Chain A
Amino acid sequence: MRRLSRSIWHGLFIIAAISSAAVLTLISLRNFHREMLPPENRPIQSGTGNYVTSNACRACHPGNYASWHTSFHRTMTQVATAATLFGAAEEREFSFDGRQYKMEQQGDKFFVRMRSLGGDYGPGKQVVLVTGSHTLQIPWLETGEGRTLEQFPFAYIIAEKMWAPVNETFLTPPDLKEYYSIGAWNGACMDCHVTQGQSRFVAGNKWDSRVAELGIACEACHSEGNQHIALNRNPVRRFKIHLTTKSDASITNPARLTGPVSGLDCGQCHSVWAFNNMTDKIDFNRQGTNFRPGHNDLGQRFVVQPNAPDHSEQKDSIRKTEPDFFTNRFWGDGMIRVTGREFNGLQASPCFRGGNFSCISCHEMHPKQTQQVSLTKWARTGQLRPEMDSDQACLQCHKAIGPNIAAHTHHEAASSGSRCYNCHMPHNTFGLLHAMRGHQVSWPTVQESVAYGRPNACNLCHLNQTLAWTAEKLHAWYNQPVPQLSQDDQTIAAAVQWIVKGDAGQRALIAWGMAWEPAQKIAGRDWFYPYLIYSMTDPYAAVRFDAWKSLQTLPGFSDFAFTYTSDDHSLRETAARAFEKWLREVRPPNAIFQPQSALDSDGHFQQDVFQRLRSERDNKRILLAE
């Protein structure tokens, strides 16, 4: 037999190598398809309508993609993995409400097993999704009922690196044990925590939920991108736009909309909204929202403003079916009192009537600077435009006030009392365990505190002053009428009244407010200790948490340990220990306690006053529905 030449051997070798590579490619393709099958135990991303997902936007808008990718909008809802689930390393065993839970990791997946006290652990349920990545993160478990989810009873408080029962991470009544029931994520949470969610109710408590994209992605604010992408495959069209109008009608740009329409883009989620009727609710559930950025209204839904004349029939119906709906979300005059619903405040602001004011007057979703460091800072500081954390936010329109700001504020120009935000957007909303600036631009009045219980901006800084003191100043400076005030309003600091006899929402605002630096500087902080220590035994967990965190900002208590979710006995014991520590180790010998603080000269409560205020505490059930 003739020997094969060297070149034939070379040829055979090359053919064999190419064939092997082709076979390996085909095998990996098969595995790839198997891995790509959508999971059946959680909501999935599926081709919805004309949505194309953020992946399709990246190539043409790398800078905008980068800012969005850094934002907490992107990570609002994520598939649970070792990279996205916080706190799995800190703790793996939990107890709550007579049950024990154990979290176990298998590869990149996490499972939770549960048992009643003394019983055996049941089978593991996979942690499939996580919601939140900024302040709080809640893991969601598979249920075995299709794509229906149930809440893991614990949430991870990111700043504290600690787990706490979910019901104790919101301002909820102490007797409320389950905050989210089975299916609540599918039926409610996903309305705003994903892009174009479709709950898709099946039967019983079974859901087949799908989304255009997990998290809040490009198309939530810019509308569906399919047509935009198809049209812009044509480079001539793109360059025509680049060189002429710089505006593309095939996609919505909120920056080019009028104030109210642009605001509604954010307001589709950042508002208290309700369905127009049951038909619209069913349609929303099945098809997802029919609101698209650029629309003048929310379609199947409407923004609920308690005192606005629209949708009166629907609002009456809400009042009948859910009597606490308004009190759990609004102050008595209709101002929003929960965080996350900023559009309600914006819409009710006088600035809004001008037609240009919107969320992006102060915030921006895509900063020009795209270095990772500046993007991270931007994401963590309210996604504000440059200088919008200063008076410039207001002075960009109210230019006349700028040159002589002290004449307007009656405070030193450089002081915190001359900062626009502090008087016109005080911290009067609460959610996720902290107070936040209200987004209804307003003027401080004593009347708002007397009539609706809302802490006014003056007394949120001057915590040590009475309402009568504030009324006198506002009358002298702005000719505001002095309202009828009680004896307590004339002699006891407003903050003392709110933290002792206020409702849970008021108490939480003041407990948080005692850590606010301008208030600590103005009001003196020696007298904060007894009230914060007392508030660590408050029936509401959120108040206890903020009292503890505020106490940690005071000298001598920076590392004071406190489990705010403990039982009553432990809470009282820790509070007693804290009070002893303050009396013996921290209290300055020359500390002076002003009479309006309702403390004796040695820092103890004036028992008659304190007990009376405590007996007058507003114990109505509060659930601040953030």
Chain B
Amino acid sequence: MNNLDRNLRFGWWSLLIFLSLGGGLEILHGFKIGWYVDVGNDMRRLMFTLAHAHGTALALVNIAAGLTARNIKGFPPRPSVSLSLIWAGILFPVGFFLGGIVTYGGDPGLGIWLVPIAALLLFYCVARIAFDLSKLN
């Protein structure tokens, strides 16, 4: 078992959570909840959609990273990469979600400041994995 195994576990749990959130958003649409679907709440809808999309996508990236580590011999899983990927998978959707709870017209709430941090973490670990895989060749 390597460091990236926890990403596999995280990825599958995360996927479950964000697919469920997708169902929640469908319900908000289905019942035409004004807090979510009104024209004036465009920003909230965008933020929640991005939270759902990023949470799901990052769950898949975590799973892909875990599978990559298992299947490629000699690929050195770094703890920092594993942790960064998990934190990116948390901070991205949480940042968007919090940004959508309180909005200011066309601006999201303050929670949105988590997103650039998540973006840096994601950039770091994807680049690290790409470089490390390249070294194997």
Scan B96-108; emit 1 where CB is below 8 A from any A CB, else 0. Answer: 0000000011110
* Chain B residues within an 8 Å CB radius of A67: 40
A183 to B105, CA, bound (A): 41
Is A369 on the interface with B (CB-CB < 8 A)? Answer: yes
Contact A63 B107 (CB under 8 A): no
Is A64 on the interface with B (CB-CB < 8 A)? Answer: yes
* Chain B residues within an 8 Å CB radius of A59: 106
Scan A350-389; emit 1 where CB is below 8 A from any B CB, else 0. Answer: 0000000000000000001111100100000000000000
Is A61 on the interface with B (CB-CB < 8 A)? Answer: yes
Contact B107 A238 (CB under 8 A): yes
* Chain B residues within an 8 Å CB radius of A65: 39
Is B26 on the interface with A (CB-CB < 8 A)? Answer: no
A370 to B43, CA, bound (A): 13
Q: Which of A62, A235, A238 contacts B40 (CB 8 A)?
A: A62
A369 to B42, CA, bound (A): 13
A462 to B86, CA, bound (A): 77
Closest to A246 in B: B104
A238 to B39, CA, bound (A): 21
A362 to B37, CA, bound (A): 27
Q: In angstroms, how far is the closest chain A Cβ from the Cβ of B57? A: 25
Closest to A367 in B: B40
A-B pairs with CB below 8 Å: how many? 48
Is A242 on the interface with B (CB-CB < 8 A)? Answer: yes
Q: Which of B34, B37, B42, B110 contacts A62 (CB 8 A)?
A: B42
* Chain A residues within an 8 Å CB radius of B106: 59-62
- In this complex, how many residues of chain A approach chain B with their Cβ under 8 Å: the count is 20
Contact A62 B107 (CB under 8 A): no
Is B84 on the interface with A (CB-CB < 8 A)? Answer: no
Q: If the complex has contacts A369-B34, A371-B34, are A66 and B40 also in contact, measured as CB distance less than 8 A? A: yes
Is B41 on the interface with A (CB-CB < 8 A)? Answer: yes
Is A478 on the interface with B (CB-CB < 8 A)? Answer: no
Contact A370 B104 (CB under 8 A): no
Interface members, chain A 231-279 (any B CB < 8 Å): 235, 238-239, 242-243
Main secondary structure of the interface of A (DSSP, over half): helix
Closest to A57 in B: B106
A65 to B38, CA, bound (A): 12
Interface members, chain A 116-171 (any B CB < 8 Å): none
Scan A44-75; emit 1 where CB is below 8 A from any B CB, else 0. Answer: 00000000000000011111111100000000
Q: Which of A61, A239, A369, A371 contacts B105 (CB 8 A)?
A: A61
A59 to B43, CA, bound (A): 9
A59 to B34, CA, bound (A): 19
Contact B107 A242 (CB under 8 A): yes
Q: Which of B34, B39, B104 contacts A66 (CB 8 A)?
A: B39
Contact B104 A238 (CB under 8 A): yes
Q: In angstroms, how far is the closest chain A Cβ from the Cβ of B137? A: 18
Q: In angstroms, how far is the closest chain B Cβ from the Cβ of A241? A: 8
Q: Which of A60, A63, A238 contacts B41 (CB 8 A)?
A: A63
Q: If the complex has contacts A239-B110, A369-B34, are A62 and B39 also in contact, measured as CB distance less than 8 A? A: yes
Interface members, chain B 12-47 (any A CB < 8 Å): 32, 34, 37-43
A368 to B40, CA, bound (A): 8
A61 to B42, CA, bound (A): 10
Contact B110 A370 (CB under 8 A): no
Q: If the complex has contacts A369-B34, A371-B34, are A60 and B107 also in contact, measured as CB distance less than 8 A? A: yes
* Chain A residues within an 8 Å CB radius of B32: 371
Residues of B bordering A, CB below 8 Å: 32, 34, 37-43, 104-107, 110
Residues of A bordering B, CB below 8 Å: 59-67, 235, 238-239, 242-243, 368-372, 375
13 A-B residue pairs with Cβ-Cβ distance under 8 Å, sorted by A, are A59-B106, A61-B105, A62-B40, A62-B42, A62-B105, A63-B40, A64-B105, A239-B110, A370-B34, A371-B32, A371-B38, A372-B39, A375-B39
